[in-house]
Amino acid sequence: MTKTLGIGILGCGNISAAYMRLAPLFKGIEVRACADLNEAAAKARAEEFGLRAESIDGLLGADDIDIIVNLTVPAAHFEVSRKVLEAGKHVYSEKPFVLSVEEGKTLADIAASKGLRVGSAPDTFMGGAHQLARHLVDEGAVGKVTSGTCFVQSPGMEMWHPNPDFFFQPGGGPILDLGPYYISNLVQLLGPVKRVCAMSSSGSEYRTITSQPRHGDKIKVETPTTIHAVMQFHSGAQITYCASWDVWQHGHSNMELYGQGGTLHVPDPNFFGGEVRMTDKGSFVSLSEAWDHPFSRANDGGNANYRTAGLADMAQAILENRPHRCSLEFSLHAVDVMTSILASGETGQFIDIGTTCERPAALDPQAAQALLT
């Protein structure tokens, strides 16, 4: 592969620096320009990373840009991605991909009519730890997975994020903000979800920002901040999922999968690395098999951080004419599951999931290395 696809970043907020900083790790992509409604933000990022600052229309029309990465706020994802596709460019969105199944299907129709690709974060399920878990599940190391638990609970985002308002607006909340990591990882491990049920609540009506520069400002909470859900997978597995921003401390593991022959402890899907542990029935066993996965290696302050892997995989997939892992169908199914969990929390009813998807192809160490420079 010799061709390099030009990448444009639309949205120069907090997360844009990670894409700009980590993209040079990967083959086949080069971040060339950025844009933002706030032109000063785009100019600052451009100067920081040696890029070209563009207007939004300029980025959409730039001849050297093949893929635009949509890093706008969740409520704008659909409209921005639509404009990117209509401009004739591939689009890769931050999570959540869209806020409704209808929006996702509209983008799918536009992309299909123009022969374009759509992809979406998260790509953390491509990390070495989660691909080891995938390998163990596929090899039947713990037998058929029958049930499991997931917990992602904290006090919230207002303690550290400079502008946390969108976390507590429709399109935010712990399901749509953190759920993509957990749901995507579960689907790549177990396959698609069949139906869900949930209960939801909000711990308080307002949140007080304690980060800078807006210390003391209050945010109105407009979306549930505690959700307890159960997902039934087509495989037969039943997974309990608890997501909350109303919890100061807890002792639950991030993800546990219970098989007929043992238990698999999977680390936080919000990250690429971490320790995978497994039992044979009730006793822990050593995972002695060598698993030197490139996306397990610490590269960022002691952590394995390979954000942009999903974008690089999509670019290489375009060049190689193969499916990409962070696909529209995969991402849309996760959105369907998450929005159905929220709807069930409102109505108290079981909801059948109307979409489905194929599990993304596994990313073994050799395939991961092929993405890197």
pLDDT tens digits, one per residue of 95-104: 999 999 999 9
pLDDT, one tens digit per residue, over 118-128 is: 999 999 999 99
CA distance 311 to 91: 9
Q: What are 64's two structure tokens?
A: 């050297």
Q: Are 360 and 327 in contact (CB under 8 A)?
A: yes
Note the maximum CA span of the chain: 60
- Cα-Cα-Cα-Cα dihedral sign, residues 29, 30, 31, 32: negative
Which pLDDT belongs to residue 290? 75
- 229: nearest Cα among 150, 285, 136: 150
Q: pLDDT band at 2, cuts 50/70/90?
A: low
Task: Estimate to the nearest angstrom the gap between the alpha carbon of 200 and the chain centroid.
Answer: 22
pLDDT, one tens digit per residue, over 4-45 is: 999 999 999 989 999 999 999 999 999 999 999 999 999 999
Which pLDDT belongs to residue 318? 97
Average pLDDT estimate for 189-200: 98
| Residues near 113 by beta carbon (within 8 Å), at least 6 away in sequence | none
